[in-house]
Amino acid sequence: MKWYKIFTPTTIVKLISYWPPLFFSGISVREFDLEKCYVRARLKTRFFNKNYFGTHYGGSLYSLCDPFFAFIFLHHLGKDFIIWDKAAKIDFIAATKDPVYAYFSISKEEIARVRKEAQKKSKVEPVYQVDITDIEGKIIARVEKTLYIRKKCR
């Protein structure tokens, strides 16, 4: 049996903090409610995820933002849709040694719009942006994610 038939998106988000690529990067899910369409994740600085200058390694900053928009859509669209990350762009704005946070949120209206569009077209490629901030709200990096969403053929 395939993993996606066993685990719901909610279970995956609950457990993802322990998935080795995220756990060993210092990334954890701090708060989430997939019904309310949001996830808040944190990246802590650890000796193994610092760059030469002692600040967050850029790859870890990107990893903080990798799966969460897709999981929100997966929860709401279900297994009748293919949902992939297609592209990403990260703009590094400031360096920090402090913990950083990312808040992923998609409105229910946006999810309904994408569902409707994906049912009409062969694919939809929505673009979302998330800011990585420190505890005081200062922007450390900005990530732009492009998803690939389409209805499965039956």
Tell me the average pLDDT across 122-136: 96
Residue whose structure tokens are 């859509």: 73
Q: So what's the architecture of 3-151 in CATH?
A: Roll (3.10)
DSSP reduced 3-state for 148:
strand
> Domain boundaries in the chain?
3-151
Q: What is the pLDDT of residue 102?
A: 97
Contact 139, 65 (CB under 8 A): no
Residue type at position 91: D
CA-CA distance, 2 to 139, in Å (whole number)? Answer: 39
CA-CA distance, 121 to 34, in Å (whole number)? Answer: 25
Q: What is the pLDDT of residues 64-85, one digit of tens each?
A: 998 899 989 988 998 899 999 9
Q: What is the pLDDT of residue 7?
A: 66
